[in-house]
Amino acid sequence: MKPTALPQIQDFVISAITKTSPLMGQLALAESTRAVTTGNERLTPVEQLDIYREQFWLRHTGALEEDFVSVARLIGADAFHTLCASYIKAHPPQSYTLRDLGDRFAEFVSCTAPYKDDALLCDLCHVEWAFVEAFDAADAAPISAQKIAATPEDAWPNAVLALHPSMRLLTLRYPAHDVRITARTGDETSDAPLVRPPAQDTWLVVFRGPDTLKFIDIERDAFMLLSKLHAGTPLGLACEQTVTELGLSEAAFQAAVGAWFSSWTQWGWVTDLIV
């Protein structure tokens, strides 16, 4: 049957150009393509369509390769391309921008054999994506000293801290951020396998500073409080829960928390206090 309506033609083209292998070997498809595209003296109808198929995979695999450099380096180019193809099949690109293409990559890898059991690889996917998200997240100015000073003491326990929109909090089983740096410095196209570091629980914050993307691994206790605040828990309750869950003494917590907050404000993480 010859599709003439635009939606039919477009559905047909999309189903063809998203196939992972060349269209020329697919007989049934060659037949139906003849009803859609004309071909010319140099190219058959299916060869014309195949140019777009090839570009589709080059473009999308290329975009993922840019966003997940260290992942590609860790498993090698061939395995990465196969992984990309299964990811794109499972989560076809829907956003208008390629920027969003990898938004479910970490989740996909974390539940896809054989990679789901590779904790370093899963961590790396999360770290790489955190940098993508932090890059163009909304802007926010750090909280002013006046605002802090003007907040009455009894308002603090119920206050919710607004944190910088670029902040991404990651609990990792490996220092994946170090591996990312190794993969992204020097020759990015190098085929040399990356060295796998030993496992080490890591609490990482990726964020955007005034000029560049930054990351810092902070101590577990601070990370726990920060996570609660990041989730919007009021300050008083977040502190109480942290003390209880960590089994800390009130005194030990009080001794530490001041230094945490001073670092967090210094890094521009706290942008507002919602009383």
Partner 1 sequence: MGFRERHRIPDLGVGVGFRLPHYATVLGDKPPMDWFEVISENFMVEGGKPLENLTALSASYRVVPHGVSMSIGGSAPLSPVYLDRLQKVLERIAPPWFSDHLCWGGTASLNAHELLPLPMNAEVVRHVVERIKRVQDRFSVPFALENVSSYMAFQASSMQEFEFVCEVAEKSDSGILFDVNNIYVSYRNHGTDPMAYVDAIPKDRVVQIHLAGHTEKDRYVLDTHAGHVRDEVWDLYRRTIEKLGAVSTLVEWDDDIPEWDVLAAEAGKARALRNDILAKQPSTVTPASEGRA
- State the residues that interact with partner 1 by CB under 8 A: 2-7, 9-11, 13-14, 17-18, 35-38, 40, 42-43, 45, 47-49, 51-52, 55-56, 59-60, 92-99, 134-139, 165-166, 208
Query: 174 with 202: CB under 8 angstroms?
Result: yes
- Nearest distance in Å: CB 26, partner 1: 16
Q: H/E element holding 204?
A: strand 202-208
C-alpha distance from residue 216 to each of 39, 172, 222 (Å): 56, 13, 12
Which residue, 52 or 260, has its beta carbon nearer to partner 1? 52
Which residue, 26 or 171, has its beta carbon nearer to partner 1? 26
Which residue, 3 or 142, has its beta carbon nearer to partner 1? 3
- Nearest distance in Å: CB 178, partner 1: 24
Which residue, 4 or 189, has its beta carbon nearer to partner 1? 4
Angle at the Cα of 87 from the Cα atoms of 205 and 92, rounded to 5 degrees = 105
Which residue, 40 or 182, has its beta carbon nearer to partner 1? 40
- Nearest distance in Å: CB 57, partner 1: 11
- Nearest distance in Å: CB 58, partner 1: 11
C-beta atoms surrounding 3 within 10 Å: 15
Which residue, 7 or 114, has its beta carbon nearer to partner 1? 7
The span from the CA of 52 to the CA of 272, in Å, is 49
Left, alpha or beta for 100 (phi > 0: left; psi -120 to 50: alpha)?
A: alpha
C-alpha distance from residue 265 to each of 153, 176, 209 (Å): 18, 25, 12
Which residue, 81 or 241, has its beta carbon nearer to partner 1? 81
Which residue, 122 or 270, has its beta carbon nearer to partner 1? 270
- Nearest distance in Å: CB 189, partner 1: 15
Alpha helices in 68-118 (DSSP H): 69-75, 77-90, 105-110
C-alpha distance from residue 96 to each of 34, 78, 99, 110 (Å): 30, 27, 9, 25
Bond prior to 92 in cis (omega within 30° of 0) = no
- Nearest distance in Å: CB 52, partner 1: 6
φ, ψ of residue 270 in degrees (nearest 5): -90, 120
**Sign for the pseudo-dihedral over CA of 243, 244, 247, 250:** positive
